[in-house]
Every structure is written in structure tokens, then in C-alpha cells.
Amino acid sequence: MRLSGRRLTVVLSTLFVVVLIAGATTAWSFGRHRIETPASVAAYHSGPTDDRTVVLSADAQGHPRAEQVRVLLQHYFDSINNRDYDAWMGAVAHEQSAPQTEQNWTRDYATTVDSNLTVVTVADEPLRTRLMFTSMQAAELAPASLPVTCINWDVTYLLAEQDGRLVLSGIDPSAQSMTACA
């Protein structure tokens, strides 16, 4: 059967509408999981400080689990700053800790000091939190893609329930950036 004229126009128009709807649905699906950029990002002053306390922005405070997220992140960053591998293991999901031996973890974080920790947002579906902070470390222990002693991070951590408690279950790779401190 050969399509021509009006039939061809109807088939192509129908195909175009189907593709358009599929694209819009996909864009909506991805977009609804993205954490929007709140005013607290513009108010954040990057760079190292003496303050190692995790604080909640006004935007993050509105989430019902904000304090639980803040406590988890405080535990996580205290474990790094205090070189406490066992505490770190308690803050991350089994999938995150399984490949990390104590010896490697201790070596990787031997010089790290994280500060200026601000929870920008907490969002659902999946539960996640956007955090801005600064890390200081020996350049040779910094990420290979940015071997500097001071890095400003903007990271979205994924969170999950495990064994009846909240843990960090990973990092959203599409929502992570790092820049050298000015």
C-alpha cells in the first residue's frame, strides 16, 4: 500500500504529534525531579570557614524531614573531619561503604577538612538534598579532575531508609559541580 496526498499528511501529522507528546512527557518527568535553584544559592558565600556546622537554609527548613537530614549530614561530615571511619560507615548506605576499605578511606580523607556546610534544599521523590560546602585537602588527595587544595562543592545527595534510619545512598551525578576556591 502506497501512501500519498492526504493519507501521507495524516500519517506524518499523527507521527509528529506522538513524538511531540513523548518528548514533552520525558522532559516533564526529568524536570520534576530536578531541585530548583532557590534564593539561598545566591546568598551562599563560598570558601572555607572555621564553622563545620551543617546549617539549613530557609528553603530547606520548610521540608518535614529537614532536621533529620541536617543531623545525618552533620554525622557524615563530622566523621570525615574527625577521621572516624566507623561513624562514616553508619552514615552511608551499605552499597556506598562496601567497596571502601578502612585503609583506603583513611588514606583518601587523611587531609580533608569540610566547612561552610549549607543545606540548600530537601526534596522528595526520591528523597534528596542539595548541599553547598567547601573542602580543603592536599592537592594530591583532591579529585583527579580538580587537583587543588580548596574546592567549593554544590552536590545533591540521594537519601534512603536503611535498617530503620536515614543514610546517604549516593550522589546525583547530574547535580554535582566543583570549582576551585577563588
Q: Is 113 helix (H, G, I), strand (E, B) or coil?
A: strand
Q: Does domain 35-180 have CATH number 3.10.450.50?
A: yes
- Write out pLDDT tens, residues 88-99: 999 999 998 888
CA distance 41 to 104: 33
Helical H segments across the chain, by residue range: 5-33, 39-43, 58-61, 66-81, 85-91, 94-97, 102-108
Q: Nearest 5 degrees, angle CA 114-CA 83-CA 157?
A: 50
Task: Say if CB 140 and CB 148 are below 8 A apart.
Answer: no
From 128, 109, 134, 108, select the one nearest 54 (Cα to Cα). Answer: 134
- Write out pLDDT tens, residues 123-166: 999 999 999 999 999 999 999 999 999 999 999 999 999 999 99
Q: Could you tell me the pTM of the whole model? A: 0.78
Q: Which residues contact 34 (CB under 8 A, 6 or more apart)?
A: 175
**Residue 147, preceding peptide bond in cis (omega within 30° of 0):** no
CA distance 100 to 88: 11
Q: Is 169 helix (H, G, I), strand (E, B) or coil?
A: strand
- Write out pLDDT tens, residues 64-85: 999 999 999 999 999 999 999 9
> What's the pLDDT at 30?
40
Domain boundaries, the chain: 1-33, 35-180
- Does pLDDT of 28 surpass 70? no
